Homo-oligomer: A and B are copies of this chain.
Amino acid sequence: MSLIRLHVADDLLQDGTVLLGPQQTHYLANVMRARTSDEVLLFNGRDGEWLSSIAEIGRRGASLRLLGRYRPQAKGPDLDLVVALVKRARLEIIVEKAAELGARRVRPVVTERTNLSTANLDRLRAIAVEASEQTGRLDVPQILEVAPLGEVLAEWPGDRRLLFCDEAGEAAPALEALRGVEGALWGILIGPEGGFAPEERVAARAVTGAVPVSLGPRILRADTAAIAALSLWQASLGDWRGSAPN
């Protein structure tokens, strides 16, 4: 069995101690049935992954003693997922999968055909943490504030490419469109279930470095399109290509 992994806020230092709050203690004690002296991996997004040992575990708190660094800090590719606000359950799936598939940031956006304007960011952040713990990455994707799509496109950085998943069907097949495209900074744009409005498609294609792609002949739900695009990007240009570090 692989070790339990926990994301913590504290600095991780040789011979340091990390105290857990009630929630992580509950998870350790009651969900994972961990006991004193069991080993746990810790990461904070800065100091790599550390092996620790449970020094004390009570009802409302636990203390872990840091034993040594297990893996140096590493980050996956600099990849943003920009995704139209969809219903809660599907947005939660998208955030979980973005963590597993190595996105660095998730930006929920309001589009013309989006019926929602807010999301529970605390809940999405908790999902991102849990998925990062389970998938083995050493950072947690940042969940950015909800913003209007028009604003995000207007302020899109000139040096960040944009994989634009255009369901309207005139774009090139994804793998073909991505072949040989250069760029270290990327974003992926996924529309709402009702599709982008015509002027949104124009604006997305007008971004410097936009790569419009098609994801096949069937209509995909937003979560499916997001997972497919993240997978194709990782396989074509990201850390699924070879033995790139995590």
Can you sample 10 A-B contacts with CB below 8 Å?
Answer: A76-B218, A100-B224, A102-B216, A173-B235, A176-B241, A216-B239, A217-B246, A218-B246, A228-B228, A232-B232
Chain A contacts with B in 195-243, Cβ cutoff 8 A: 214-221, 224, 227-228, 231-232, 234-236, 238-242
Per-residue contact bits, chain A 157-181, to B (CB 8 Å; 1 contact, 0 not):
0000000000000000111100000
Give the complex CA separation of A135 and B220 in angstroms: 6
Give the complex CA separation of A134 and B227 in angstroms: 18
Q: Are B218 and A100 in contact (CB under 8 A)?
A: yes
Give the complex CA separation of A231 and B174 in angstroms: 10
A32 near B: Cβ within 8 Å?
no
In the complex, residue of chain B having the shortest beta-carbon distance to the beta carbon of A244: B217
Give the complex CA separation of A171 and B102 in angstroms: 20
CB < 8 Å neighbour of A97 from B216, B224, B239, B242: B224
Considering the complex of A and B, which 4 residue pairs feature the smallest CB-CB distances, nearest first? Answer: A216-B240, A228-B231, A135-B218, A217-B246
Q: Which residues of B contact A215 (CB under 8 A)?
A: 231, 240
Give min CB distance, A229 to chain B, whole Å. 8
Q: Are A100 and B221 in contact (CB under 8 A)?
A: yes
Q: Which residues of B contact A241 (CB under 8 A)?
A: 173, 175-176
CB < 8 Å neighbour of A134 from B96, B97, B219: B219
Q: Which residues of B contact A216 (CB under 8 A)?
A: 101-102, 234-235, 238-240
